[in-house]
Chains A and B, each alone.
Chain A
Amino acid sequence: MTGLSIENLSMRFELPNGGHVQALEGVSLDLKAGELLSVLGPSGCGKTTLLNIVAGFLAQTDGKLVLNGHEINGPDAERGMVFQAGALFEWMSVRDNVSFGPRMAGKKKADYMGNVDHLLEIVGLQDFKEKMVYELSGGMQQRVALARCLANDPDVILMDEPLGALDALTREKMQSLVLKLWKETGKTIILITHSVEEALLLGERLIVMAPRPGRIHKEYRLPFADMGVGADLREVKKHPDYAPTREEILNMIWDMEEEIMGTAGEDE
């Protein structure tokens, strides 16, 4: 079977003072190949932990992760990751960053250069190939990060708030780009975000996570991502379902944050 299946995933950190933190408890999720899942939740709900486990940077304490029929243990080129910022190699040019994966895999230059140039064209950086990454703006750097991830042709792309450090206008443009890349490449994408709008616009599926312990609170299937491909995202926001769903999710997260603040207050 193709796709990613997460079964009853739990993550528990022991603390030096003898206590423990239940970062995730009983998270189960099935993701078909080509789906785009966005993950929302208040701080501390374990969404980054979930992503790190899927990426293979952390080993779960309980549960099972299966991708395309084999279990996940450790990082691998089949699961590419796009970080919020600071993950590019500033000692390399844009082209060398994008071709990093194929180069590490020992592929011949002739085999990957065409694809690298093509990807740089898709993300709109064909004129910046020879530049060093620190010469680019924040938005351009995230385009490089997306292209670098795609150049490695992973089965799953994990995005940890990839647009979180960008200004609002750049962010909107990048959201369209993410949708375009998703449709063109047909990759399975898990996208973590703090922005409810972004989660609604990009997520074909959307899960809202709750903290203490980290778990899936509610799941949505949304039409907006399909509408947004190739269209103006501001038009999508005018859809009659959009605003009510947004309000519902915002209230949900707002209540969770209130609860956290409330109990934190009691602790003191």
Chain B
Amino acid sequence: MADTVNLVCTRERLGEVVTELRAGNVPDGQIVGDTFALPAGCEIASGWDTFSYQFGTLGAELWSETKTVMASAASALPSIAFYVIVILACMFIYRAIKSMLTPTRDYTSLKTVTFGDESAVRSDFPASVLSIILIFVIWGSFTGSALLPGFLHLPAPYTGEESFTYTVEDDAGNRDDAEIFVRVVGAGVAESEMVFDEGDGIAKNDGVEIGVYRSENVLWDSNDDVSRRENGARVVAINGQEFDFAFGTDDAGPAPSFDLDFAQVTITDRGSINVVPDQGMQMQPLYLPAPEVVWNRFIEIAKYGYQNVYLTVHLGFSLFRVIVGFMLGAAIGIPLGYAMGLSNWFRGWFDPIVEFMRPVPPLALIPLVIIWFGIGEVGKIFLLFLAALWIMAIAARSGVSGVRITKVHAAYSLGASRWQILRYVIIPNSLPEIFTGARVAMGVCWGTVVAAELVAAEEGIGKMITTASKFQNTDIILLGVIIIGLVGFGIDMLMRWAERSLVPWKGKG
């Protein structure tokens, strides 16, 4: 006798069924169809059915997601193609100019085989400069930046004053024309009273002020002698273009819409007039603020701080966490790596731990660390310690393992003791690997600290971004992203410089 039964229920019924089954005490020995009534919306299913049902729904959901993603990706293709064309155009123009001005005869320019010759491929500095300039040009043209000349701007949203005419007809068949004055004002412009002459006739002129990127529903009859409700008044023409529309019925068809020079005007099915000024092709400051806005915000925050915390404090806390976490990780990880590289027992002991912990991204530990240590400094530094620990241990281990046996043999036959070999051969030999590991670890730590601060922190550059996102301060979010990128880049440059000056023998053994 089976003591369990699988039910497959519709999604809508699932919650209720579970509640019902919990509430009703199902006695042992009930037989389906006999004493046990199947809940509505459910069917009995075999174990295989439930299994295949799970995967069926999963597959269906993932397939629809795939289609959405593919559609988004496909919609980006024209932009990518355009960008590639710009890159190639810049290249050909630059090369043409360069070869006209300075016909070079250096070693690389005389090579006939450059495709596939790795040594002939170097980073072209002018290309890097152009690429960065282009990013700012694109940024500026999408935001109407004041830094760019106007012809590079994409069409801006309409601002200014315009008017259009609407024609009203009431039940009695009386007709009258009136004007609607529209004023579209830019963001941050104070609202002001619109002054206009209402005119005469049964329809009076109206005025409406619309913020840029907004739209407005004009209740044109609010000041007229006739109204929609009492006189059955309705709009029959915009700018003299007449239309026929059965207001308030379901099968009225598409609402009449007029493409004016400055706006899209639509008659709603309630009879009011919806005015949507042209939005242009630029992005709203909420989505993408202009470069100079971000720069000004940077100056402001650098001077006065954000949300009562100075920018230096935000940055200082983030860097402090990274440096302390990395130092602790290196202080434990390097000796651990040496032990693993030098002793079978330690290698065996720590291999499972290191190999298991290494693929766990530190970000996945954030919730656990918050539960264990709270949101204070200890938790975040512990997280960064873990991030650095495994990387440094593995780097030190491979640094030790990478020592050529001839060097060790040579040291022994020159009379060195074990300690001397460790001190004068193994440690210096492992330093290049350790520096490579340190570069990786610093990068990972920097990424991890920002993510940890996004989740929980009092201050820090990640915290600044989270706070800004709550207030929709997109300029500060962008500023934070730029600072994070620049600091990360700076850290890597610093590590490379340290590597070059401290282990100049790297790769020359």
Q: Does A89 contact B (CB under 8 A)?
A: yes
Looking at the complex, which one of B404, B409, B509 makes contact with A55 (CB distance below 8 Å)?
A: B409
Residues from chain B with a CB closer than 8 A to the CB of A79 are: 413
Residues from chain B with a CB closer than 8 A to the CB of A101 are: 414-415
| 0/1 interface trace, chain A 46-64, chain B, CB 8 Å (1 if under) | 0000000001110000000
Q: How far is the CA of A104 from the CA of B424 in the complex (A)?
A: 9
Total A-B residue contacts, Cβ distance less than 8 Å: 75
Q: Does A30 contact B (CB under 8 A)?
A: no
Contact present for A86 and B415 (CB under 8 Å): no
| 0/1 interface trace, chain B 410-430, chain A, CB 8 Å (1 if under) | 111111110010001100110
Residue of A nearest to B423 (CB): A104
Residues from chain B with a CB closer than 8 A to the CB of A55 are: 409, 413
Q: Does A254 contact B (CB under 8 A)?
A: no
Residue of B nearest to A132 (CB): B505
Q: How far is the CA of A56 from the CA of B409 in the complex (A)?
A: 9
Residue of B nearest to A91 (CB): B428
Q: How far is the CA of A152 from the CA of B424 in the complex (A)?
A: 17
Looking at the complex, which one of B413, B416, B428, B503 makes contact with A81 (CB distance below 8 Å)?
A: B413
B422 to chain A, nearest CB (A): 12
Q: How far is the CA of A77 from the CA of B409 in the complex (A)?
A: 11
Q: How far is the CA of A85 from the CA of B509 in the complex (A)?
A: 10
Q: Does A100 contact B (CB under 8 A)?
A: yes
A191 to chain B, nearest CB (A): 15
B424 to chain A, nearest CB (A): 7
Contact present for B409 and A83 (CB under 8 Å): yes
A90-123 interface (Cβ within 8 A of B): 90-91, 100-101, 104-105
Interface size class of B (residues with CB under 8 A): 20 to 34
Residues from chain B with a CB closer than 8 A to the CB of A88 are: 407, 410
Interface size class of A (residues with CB under 8 A): 20 to 34
Q: How far is the CA of A56 from the CA of B411 in the complex (A)?
A: 13
Residues from chain A with a CB closer than 8 A to the CB of B428 are: 89, 91
Q: Does B504 contact A (CB under 8 A)?
A: yes
Residues from chain A with a CB closer than 8 A to the CB of B415 are: 76-77, 101, 104-105, 152
Q: Does B508 contact A (CB under 8 A)?
A: yes
| 0/1 interface trace, chain B 485-509, chain A, CB 8 Å (1 if under) | 0000000000000000001110011
Q: How far is the CA of A27 from the CA of B411 in the complex (A)?
A: 27
Q: A90-B505, A90-B509, A134-B508 are in contact. Are A83 and B410 (CB under 8 A)?
A: yes
Q: Does A223 contact B (CB under 8 A)?
A: no
Q: Does B112 contact A (CB under 8 A)?
A: no
Contact present for B404 and A87 (CB under 8 Å): yes
Q: Does A138 contact B (CB under 8 A)?
A: no
A255 to chain B, nearest CB (A): 32
Q: Does B406 contact A (CB under 8 A)?
A: yes
Between A and B, 12 residue pairs with Cβ closer than 8 Å are A56-B413, A57-B409, A57-B412, A81-B413, A87-B404, A87-B407, A101-B414, A104-B414, A104-B417, A134-B508, A152-B414, A158-B413
Known: A83-B410, A86-B406, A148-B410. 5 other contacts (CB 8 A): A81-B410, A90-B509, A100-B414, A134-B509, A152-B415
In the A-B complex, the 4 residue pairs with the closest CB atoms: A77-B415, A134-B508, A75-B412, A101-B414
